Structure 1
Amino acid sequence: MKTETASSTASTLLTSARSVARDFAAPHADAVDQESRFPIEAVNALKQAKLLSAYVPAELGGAGASLSELVDICDVLARQCASTAMVYAMHQIQVITIVEHALDHPWYRQYLKDLVEHQYLIASVTSEVGVGGEMRRSQCAVDINGSLFSLMKDATTISYGAQADDLLVTARRHPDAANSDQSLILVRKADYTLEQKGQWNTMGMRGTCSPPFLMTASGDVAQIMEVPFGAMSAQTVVPVSHLLWGGCWTGCASAAVNKARAFVRGQARAHPGTVPPTALRLAELVSMLQSLRTSVQACLTEYEQLSAEDNAANGVLSSIAYSLKMNNLKVDATQALPQIVIKALSICGILAYKNDTKFSMSRHLRDALSSMLMVGNDRILATNANLLLVLKDD
């Protein structure tokens, strides 16, 4: 009975996501890209469908969705608008972190209930001037005065910061703490200000609206999560990020492949009884997409199995070998994605190169190229190089 209920919930969530993708993400995707604007229509529809609280446990009013279901939703959204999918993925990273590491905390437990009711959109503030995209270091520090805290962070980017309802922020635990001794703090819309310090005029993922901001915030010390951010990062934030982003990447790749399929079918219909020369290239392309999906799915299945085990599994999730595996997934997937889109472009030819045809690959390619830069692959490979120096042989 429990399995049937879970299956029914997953089907409902995916049906809702498909409706949002079809009716709200797709019609506005080109405008979001061209105007570099937030996909407000799709995000409002996600809120209306209560998909922002999908991962919140059923006991608190949420759908109790699994990570696999969220990855599927990202895939569905990315086929129509990669920016919408990425906003959804980044929001869910924050929700999952709260659920997995602060569910028993009274303040956060109430917040999750409120999230279900109000569908708050949560953004992440981990980047900072002086440390760049190094999530595990902070310059800023929490300043605690009695039951209150204050915090100022000069962020190099906050994706959809201006549109978010709340922010999850990394900072040093206190002014004398080392830059790697970090806390994670949720700050509420009414308690922070953002001063925009630049623009977001990029090649792709233009709808994520990720300019730099100077953030100033205050609040109750109950909003400072008790678990050190280092533990949350290894066990949850990094693997979940790579897996949810993986859903976005497979969706973006599928969008390009589907256009190539439609193009080849059109050629076949125009010349009945013959196999178009592009059909061979299409077969290769589908194989590339399958490999990408298989890689993401294999890591997703393993992560969910490890997460479902007792606390002994946390040692595996925090191990060097597992960190290398998840880092390699990110690097390999983001190298494969642009190649898939380029191959789809080559199949469709000039019609894919033009911006005003139904086979255009421009947005897909530009969005795909961002994947290598979201936590840059060079930074990840440098981390891997250091880890490999201390990893023991199998």
Structure 2
Amino acid sequence: MNVQETTLRNLSGDAEQLLLDRGSLFMQRTAAVAALAATEAEAVDREGRFPTSAIDAAREQKLLGMQIPVEFGGFGATIHDIADVCYTLGRACASTAMIFAIHQTQVACLVRHGRGNPYMEALMRRIAREQLLLASSTTEGQNGGNLRASAAAISRNDDGITLLREAAVMSYGAAADGLVTVARRASDAAASDQVLLALVKGDYSLKCTSGWEALGMRGTCSTGFELKVSCPTDRVFAEPYDRVNAQTMTPFAHLTWSSAWAGIAAAAVQRAHRFIRKAVRSAGGQTPPTAAHFTTAKMSLAKLRAVISANMNAFITHEYDERALSSLDFQSSITLLKVEASELAVETVMSAMRTCGLSGYRNDGEFSLSRHLRDVLSAPIMINNDRILANVATASLMSAVPTSLHD
């Protein structure tokens, strides 16, 4: 009996099916979650509440632990599988998709950098078994989303470590079962000398410091908290944060966020398509004057999907090649993916709205695109594109201009 046959024999029937036909079954499970997410999307937006039903459905479908390796009880989903889920959920409910994307980025840090640490391996098993939801706490004080500088530092004592952090924005922090956060290595360390911590309830407490009355992405409940940590030292990743950030956090975040935004854009284009078809039927076959905007919307959606796919393929090709992932070209490309994808997503939804005209502008009616536009407008602001462009300016100058189409 070969290794694969032995592995399959030792797995549950559910896990065995996923290994044999993983992509198809992931999509079936995602479709069930997306259907429920779509039914509560308007209420989640209107009431600014966490999408409890959709996330509970993701738990029931075992999607929160889909990325956990088989050896730790998960399904070993790839970044491609996860991005497809984000895209599908984005078409149904933007807040649900973004929560899922953020969670999977934190799980990726555990999967790719937590092996060898008994606590983190046990946490992976818990995520697979209990479908725990992990939040992220990287935005601090007034740093505007500068992930490579921390003000708060961990303190070490005989009982473990402590940390007091002003988490200015923490999406769904109150609803999460744990979180991943970054801090300075010590009080005398430089702001860029950072470590990453993986925490569960009991390791920390949260005190709400600000609310979340936002234009869009209202269901992410991205309130501010005072984060107070007291936990054992094994919650700290062994690898420095700069390596985790470059090899895992940035690629996973930008690929999953972009996929969620692409899902929002696709839903807007689909709605615009229905509007055009209905308008043509009503006008006896005559195409409405706004049809040109629909063509623009489809073109920008195609560009958006292509840029995500190109970066996805580049990451998958070099997924475990530390040198390639740290290269100037890859880091510039994966960083700028966030900028390009967010701008294209906004352009796509705007073109879809112009296709639908007043019907898209209204908050009511079957062709309303108000929620889609408000949600997608968060994309260029979430870690502001201006900050990203300023940070990569020097790196861009150091990168050679391609001499052919095939470079």
Residues in 1 aligned to 2:142 and 2:190: alpha-carbon distance in whole angstroms: 14
Residue 271 of structure 1: CA displacement? 3.9
Residue 262 of structure 1: CA displacement? 0.5
Q: Which structure 1 residue ranges, 5 or more long, are not aligned?
A: none
Select which of 136, 147, 151 maps to 1:124.
136
Go from structure 1 to structure 2 and tell me whether the alpha carbon gap of 1:16 and 1:327 turns closer, same or farther (over 3 Å shift). same
Residue 170 of structure 1: CA displacement? 0.3
1:240 maps onto 2:252 in alignment:
yes
| Amino acid across the alignment from 2:360 | A
The residue that corresponds to 2:184 in the other structure is 172
1:102 maps onto 2:114 in alignment:
yes
Residue 165 of structure 1: CA displacement? 0.7
| Amino acid across the alignment from 2:73 | G
Residue 137 of structure 1: CA displacement? 0.8
Residues in 2 aligned to 1:364 and 1:130: alpha-carbon distance in whole angstroms: 28
1:347 maps onto 2:359 in alignment:
no
Select which of 370, 390, 401 maps to 1:362.
370
Q: Is the 8 A contact 1:187 1:218 kept in 2?
A: no
Q: Equivalent residues in 2 for 1:111-260 (5 A)?
A: 111-260=123-272
Residue 6 of structure 1: CA displacement? 4.5
Alpha-carbon displacement from aligned partner over 1:96-130 (angstroms, at most 9, x marks no partner):
11100112321111111111111111011111115
Q: Is the 8 A contact 2:198 2:236 kept in 1?
A: yes
1:21 maps onto 2:21 in alignment:
no
Residues in 2 aligned to 1:14 and 1:181: alpha-carbon distance in whole angstroms: 40
Report SS of the residue matched to 1:370.
Answer: coil
| Amino acid across the alignment from 1:128 | E
Residues in 2 aligned to 1:327 and 1:110: alpha-carbon distance in whole angstroms: 32
1:382 maps onto 2:390 in alignment:
yes
Residue 148 of structure 1: CA displacement? 1.1
Go from structure 1 to structure 2 and tell me whether the alpha carbon gap of 1:393 and 1:285 turns closer, same or farther (over 3 Å shift). closer
Residue 10 of structure 1: CA displacement? 1.6
What is the percent sequence identity of the aligned residues? 38
> Does 123-132 or 70-79 show the bigger shift?
123-132
Select which of 47, 67, 73 maps to 1:35.
47
The residue that corresponds to 1:324 in the other structure is 332
The residue that corresponds to 2:8 in the other structure is none
Residues in 1 aligned to 2:211 and 2:293: alpha-carbon distance in whole angstroms: 40
Normalized against structure 1, the TM-score is what?
A: 0.95
Residue 7 of structure 1: CA displacement? 6.2
| Amino acid across the alignment from 2:67 | Y
| Amino acid across the alignment from 1:30 | E
1:281 maps onto 2:281 in alignment:
no
The residue that corresponds to 2:22 in the other structure is 9
Residue 386 of structure 1: CA displacement? 2.6
| Amino acid across the alignment from 2:329 | A
Q: Is the 8 A contact 2:144 2:383 kept in 1?
A: no
1:334 maps onto 2:346 in alignment:
no
Residue 393 of structure 1: CA displacement? 6.1
Q: Which structure 2 residue ranges, 5 or more long, are not aligned?
A: 6-16, 403-407
Q: Is the 8 A contact 1:260 1:348 kept in 2?
A: yes
Normalized against structure 2, the TM-score is what?
A: 0.92
Residue 131 of structure 1: CA displacement? 2.7
Q: Is the 8 A contact 2:19 2:75 kept in 1?
A: no
Q: Is the 8 A contact 2:18 2:75 kept in 1?
A: no
Count of paired positions: 389
1:373 maps onto 2:385 in alignment:
no
Residues in 2 aligned to 1:376 and 1:147: alpha-carbon distance in whole angstroms: 39
Residue 390 of structure 1: CA displacement? 4.1
Q: Is the 8 A contact 2:297 2:349 kept in 1?
A: no
> Does 263-272 or 361-370 show the bigger shift?
263-272
Root mean square deviation of aligned Cα: 1.8
Residue 229 of structure 1: CA displacement? 0.4
Residues in 1 aligned to 2:143 and 2:20: alpha-carbon distance in whole angstroms: 43
